[in-house]
Amino acid sequence: MIEELSHEQILRYSRHLLMPEVGLQGQIKLKNSSALVIGTGGLGSPVALYLAAAGIGRIGLVDYDIVDSSNLQRQVIHGTSTVGKLKVESARDRLTDLNPDIQIDIYNEPYTSENALRIARDYDIIIDGTDNFPTRYLTNDVAVFLGKPNIYGSIFRFDGQVRVFSAKEGPCYRCLFPEPPPPGLVPSCAEGGVLGVLPGTVGTLQATEAIKVLLGIGTPLIGKLLLYNALDMSFDFVTLKKNPNCRVCGPNADIKELIDYEEFCGVPGHHADDTSAGANWDITAQELKTRLERDPNLLLLDVRELSELDYAKLTDSRLEVTPMSRLAREGTTALSETAQSQAATIYVMCHHGNRSMQVTAWLVQQGWKNVFNVRGGIDEYARKMDQ
């Protein structure tokens, strides 16, 4: 337990010390606090930076990805010099440079049911900077089981949300969403895009809520949902109530331990090469190129949205574009006559392979036999076959 600040720390945190809501004792409290940040991407970047700058004594970073140049538009904790480096190491080095007095723990591993409790147990607060439903449900359940606040944020295109889930005082994530949405209904930022500054705004709000909770000041967003729209520059609030039938935090909760969240949500929780529709249905970018050259009767089905075609597309007379959102609305009637007749072998692709995986599995369930999923999507094809 640290009971005082050094002379250098008093200078560093002087603007905090001038505030009666923080002061010397509050700053010492922050120094003795700890926070676990799940993800070092768009949201995790500003969260970790501002927590480190504020003097949170111990910060844990969970991620298993490497820095890619496409991250730099919004993941401001990383830089060009760290492209190709482990994200947790890149983030640790930046935070250490920002504030060498704090402890940075890194966990270069996916956050799963097998390790989540072990990782989160010793931290005072959990901050959710993830972008997929399995990890969101996992993070919520871990927070409930350990009795820790969960600072939640989400982003998509121009919209953001922030909430503080604290099952002791208010609803948890499952109170609002007892069941995940159908697979493919909600696109990820990788599929739908995000304004680069949006995660900075939302992540900073998450960091603000974390500091308030740790200091015990102000009115945290417990029982409230903050909705932010960057185009309108609007902030709206929705009151949230605890669900008495919640299976995790309700009085009759029947979920007492962590489950298989990927199975529960019907989608992968981790994006590292996990875009498989099954061994019998997958082909690689190389295989697609070979078949495009040899098979005049194939049909290439691109299930991305029309706006995504401006980014990258294959120019082939056998290409058919039918967005997955349209398939969800209209079913197989949205397909061309050729596809409906099942006269051609169909190769389904999207941006990274997630949507095509789901469409391929769906078509197989509908009775299609000659249908394949292009793993890695147009992104993989562009990187390996045609830049």
CB 12 within 8 A of CB 37: no
Contact residues for 375 (Cβ-Cβ < 8 A; gap 6+): 273, 275, 276, 282, 283, 284, 285, 353, 357
Rg of the chain, C-alpha, whole Å? 23
Q: Is 246 assigned a catalytic role?
A: no
Q: Is 175 assigned a catalytic role?
A: no
Residue 111: Cβ within 10 Å count: 26
Tokens read off for 99: 């504030």
Contact residues for 264 (Cβ-Cβ < 8 A; gap 6+): 134, 137, 180
DSSP 93-129: HHHHHH-TTSEEEEEES---TTTHHHHHTT-SEEEE-
Catalytically annotated residue among 175, 189, 246, 249: 189
| Pairing mode of beta strands 299-302, 346-349 | parallel
Residue 192's Cα: distance from chain center in Å? 13
Strand ranges for 179-308 from DSSP E:
224-229, 234-239, 282-283, 299-302
Q: What 3-state class would DSSP assign to 219?
A: coil
Count of all residues that appear for the chain in the document: 387
Sheet holding 234-239: strands in order across? 103-108, 58-63, 34-38, 125-128, 150-156, 159-165, 224-229, 234-239
Residue 21: Cβ within 10 Å count: 11
Strand ranges for 115-212 from DSSP E:
125-128, 150-156, 159-165
Catalytically annotated residue among 172, 249, 265, 350: 350
Catalytic (active-site) positions: 189, 350
